[in-house]
Structure 1
Amino acid sequence: MSGTDRPQHPADLPDRLAEVFDLVGPLYRRAHRKVEQDAPIEGLPVGVRAVLVLLREHGPMTVPQMGRAQALSRQFVQRMINDAAARGLVESVPNPAHKRSALIRLTEEGTAAITAVLARERAVLSQAGDGLTDADLTACIRVLTHLLHFLDNVDVD
């Protein structure tokens, strides 16, 4: 794409992107509060839920891999793994690629717990989409993905 072929952005693009960030923070916090309020059935704190979702989506991972994937400290992820292990939701297995960094995987109980949580969340979200189109959601996902990639790759001094 040449410089003249680039899409034109509105002059207020930085302000519009700030609006996105101003909405994402409260949305994230409210969603997590709702999960914690509704999770007593499985008793899953938000951090444990996040680890279980990651393992469900990607299979066994090391604690450092999970930290990088979620942009969280290894120490925080380890605490969440310890909590999940104490609940019987995850287990450590040998890692053929690295003797000192075990792989963490879901147990049957962990798979059942995260599947139940996600099913409940999907049921609630099915009611949240009134008035939204597939194009709306596609644009939203495209914008948020773009911002996430930008923030992962930008150097701020």
Structure 2
Amino acid sequence: MEVFALVGPLYRRVQRKVEQAEAIEGVSVGVRAVLALLCDHGPMTVPHMGRDQALSRQFVQRMVNEAAARGLVESIPNPAHKRSPLFRLTRAGQAVIDAVTAREYALLRQVSGDLTEADVRACTRVLTRMLALFDDVDVDQAST
């Protein structure tokens, strides 16, 4: 429970930092997430992006629409599913996510202390296992 108690506030603080920099790159946290997914995984469908990030398809669709309206992503035919197109980064989208991540990495390198690479690997391993525990959560099913 201590990890969850730290991860929530950490996520929200990072999210606010990204939002503060929106004036620099001009992208919201949601659009940034879409761009990062496409950068890391290549072309994806909206449902796949939603599952990957545990976000509703509707939210992801709004972020994809916003990114597409700004010329950061484009749809391409999906040979596996005619009604669910793939989305990929445009050159402009790649440039934006490169700038965003470069700024974020510079900020994260400022984490001080005696953290080692082994510490970071252990943290990543723990968080990955915790995330896997909740893989079956359906974000598109509203609870009543």
Normalized against structure 1, the TM-score is what?
0.84
- 45-54 vs 94-103, which moves further: 94-103
Q: Name the CA distance, whole Å, in 2 between partners of 1:34 and 1:130.
A: 21
Report the alpha carbon displacement of residue 152 of structure 1 after superposing the two structures with TM: 1.5
Give the percent of matched residue pairs that are identical in Structure 1 and Structure 2.
69
Partner SS, residue 105 of structure 1: strand
* Structure 1 position 36 matched with structure 2 position 11: no
Normalized against structure 2, the TM-score is what?
0.91
- Provide structure 2 residue ranges, at least 5 long, that are not aligned to the other structure: 138-144
Q: Name the CA distance, whole Å, in 1 between partners of 2:116 and 2:52.
A: 29
Q: How many residues align?
A: 137
| One-letter amino acid of the structure 1 residue matched with residue 121 of structure 2 | T
Pairing 1:2-151 to 2, within 5 Å after superposition: 18-151=1-134
Cα 1:145–1:47 shift into 2, 3 Å? same
| One-letter amino acid of the structure 2 residue matched with residue 50 of structure 1 | A
Report the alpha carbon displacement of residue 39 of structure 1 after superposing the two structures with TM: 2.8
> Is contact 1:61–1:104 with CA below 8 Å preserved after alignment?
yes
Cα 1:58–1:28 shift into 2, 3 Å? same
- Provide structure 1 residue ranges, at least 5 long, that are not aligned to the other structure: 1-17
CA deviations 1:86-113 (Å, max 9, x no partner) are: 1110011111111111110000000000
Choose 1 or 2 for highest CA Rg: 1
Partner SS, residue 104 of structure 1: strand
Greater RCO, 1 or 2 (C-alpha within 8 Å, sep 6+): 2
Whose helix proportion is higher, 1 or 2?
Answer: 1
| One-letter amino acid of the structure 2 residue matched with residue 48 of structure 1 | V
